[in-house]
Amino acid sequence: MKRGSIFVCMAMMLIGAFLLGRAGAQEGAPDMKAWEALAVPGAEHAKMMKSVGTWDCECKCWMMPGAEPTVTKAKAVRTEVLGRYVREEIEGEMMGQPYKGIGYSAYNNATKRHELVWLDNGGTGIMFMTGDGTEFKGSFFGPGGIEVKSRIVIKHVGDDQAVMEMYNNMGMGEMKCMEMTYTRAK
C-alpha cells in the first residue's frame, strides 16, 4: 500500500510540474531566454568585484549630535560569491565592545538596483537596503521595537579607498551615526 501511495504522489507531482510549465509558457510570460538574461553578471557586477580584497578600516561613531566620535580600527575582508555577489566580513571594536559583522552586496538585474543585507553581533535582526550603488536606504528595529530609518552614502576615493557614512532617523530627524574609512591593505 505504501509503494502505491508513493507512486501516486510522484505522478501527481510530475503532472503538477508539467501543468505549471505549460502555464508559464503562455503568451506574455517571460520565456527561458529572458530568465537566462537575468542571471548574467554585467558591468555593475564587475564594478562590485573591484572591492574584493582586505581592507583596513577606521570607524567613527557618534552617539549624540555634536558629540565627539569614538574612533576604532577594524579589518574587513571582501570576497566574491558565485561571481555575482560580494560578501564582507568585518571584525574590530565598536563603542568599547568586540564587533563582528557580515554583509552581502548585489546588483539585481531585474530591478536595476543595488541591494545590501547586513547582520552583526550588535543586534539580532537583519538590515536590508536598496540603492543606486552610491546611496542606500532601508531600516532596522532598535530598542523598544522602534523602526530606525537608515541611509548609507558611499564615496569612492580611487580603487584603494572608500568612505561609508551612515545616517539614522528614529523619528527626530536624521543624524550621522557612523563614518567608516576603508583603505585597501597593502
12 and 79: one domain? Answer: no
Q: Tell whether 105 is covered by a domain.
A: yes
49 and 19: one domain? Answer: no
Q: Tell whether 35 is covered by a domain.
A: no
70 and 20: one domain? Answer: no
pLDDT of residue 6: 53
d(CA 109, CA 121): 31
Q: What is the number of domains present in the chain?
A: 2
Asked whether the beta carbons of 161 and 183 are under 8 A apart, the reply is: yes
pLDDT of residue 143: 85
Average pLDDT taken over every residue of the chain: 87
Query: What integer is the mean pLDDT of 124-143?
Result: 94
> Higher confidence at residue 57 or residue 172?
57
Q: State the residue range of the domain holding 88.
A: 43-184
Is the pLDDT at 21 greater than 60? The verdict is: no
Q: Which stretches of 50-176 are DSSP H helices?
A: none
CATH number of residue 81's parent domain: 2.40.128.20
24 and 71: one domain? Answer: no
174 and 138: one domain? Answer: yes
60 and 140: one domain? Answer: yes
Tens-place pLDDT, residues 43-76? 999 999 999 999 999 999 998 888 899 999 999 9
21 and 70: one domain? Answer: no
Tell me the pLDDT band of 11, cut-offs 50, 70 and 90. very low
Q: Tell whether 38 is covered by a domain.
A: no
Tell me the pLDDT band of 170, cut-offs 50, 70 and 90. confident
d(CA 81, CA 58): 25
49 and 8: one domain? Answer: no
Burial 115-139 (b: 16+ CB within 10 A, else e): bbebbbeeeeeebebebeeeebebb
Quick one: which of 130, 121, 167 has its CA closest to 148? 167
